[in-house]
């Protein structure tokens, strides 16, 4: 960290600017289909990735110790549910650094950005390809459902309330 990094804290906080992505993700994630935990299937998936389910897992991208699971395909696209949920075929063991740096980038683009020898990159790419071809699926986006439309309207209203809150906060700050 550099001393100048403090600049981002020395300004008014904006709920809309800082939490819109969080709200969009929450509304998408709450309708995203999910798989139930099945130990045998998870062990099979881990083995497909070339890892031993009886040892600590490693990051599918960089090989560091895995600390979390990455959604290979983001659950949010264009501020709405993408069609990819919390499915076993959309989750890879991942370190927190790679998960954070990858963000919503495509996994191939992200993998190609990591410094590693070409043979290792090709091996990891092949494993991830095999895994995705075998297990990944895209679910239908329920845009035709009235409940889905109502949910999107609620998301819009929440963001509208955040905007109003930012305006009121500005007024409060000016009067203090």
Closest alpha carbon to 45 in 103, 100, 106, 89: 89
**pLDDT single digits (tens) 23-80:** 988 999 888 999 999 999 999 999 999 999 999 999 999 999 999 999 999 988 888 8
Q: Is the pTM higher than 0.85?
A: no
In this predicted model, what pLDDT tens digit does every residue of 119-149 receive, in sequence order?
Answer: 999 999 999 999 999 998 888 888 899 999 9
CA-to-CA separations, 120 to 112, 139, 164, in angstroms, rounded: 11, 32, 51
Closest CA to 21 of 77, 73, 72: 77
Residue (of 93, 101, 43) closest to 65 by Cα position? 93
């Amino acid at each position: 960290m550099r001393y100048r990094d403090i600049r981002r804290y020395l300004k008014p906080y904006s709920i809309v600017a800082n939490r819109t992505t969080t709200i969009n993700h929450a509304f998408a994630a709450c309708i995203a289909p999910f798989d139930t935990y099945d130990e045998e299937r998870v062990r099979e998936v881990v083995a497909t990735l070339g890892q031993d389910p009886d040892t600590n897992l490693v990051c599918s991208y960089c090989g560091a110790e895995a600390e979390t699971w990455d959604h290979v395909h983001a659950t949010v696209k264009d501020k709405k549910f993408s069609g990819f949920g919390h499915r076993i075929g959309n989750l890879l063991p991942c370190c927190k650094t790679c998960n954070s740096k990858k963000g919503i980038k495509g996994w191939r683009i992200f993998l190609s950005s990591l410094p590693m020898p070409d043979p290792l990159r090709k091996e990891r790419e092949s494993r991830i390809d095999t895994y995705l071809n075998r297990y990944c699926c895209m679910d239908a986006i329920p845009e035709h459902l009235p409940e889905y439309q109502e949910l999107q309207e609620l998301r819009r209203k929440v963001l509208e309330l955040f905007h109003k809150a930012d305006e009121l906060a500005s007024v409060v700050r000016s009067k203090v």
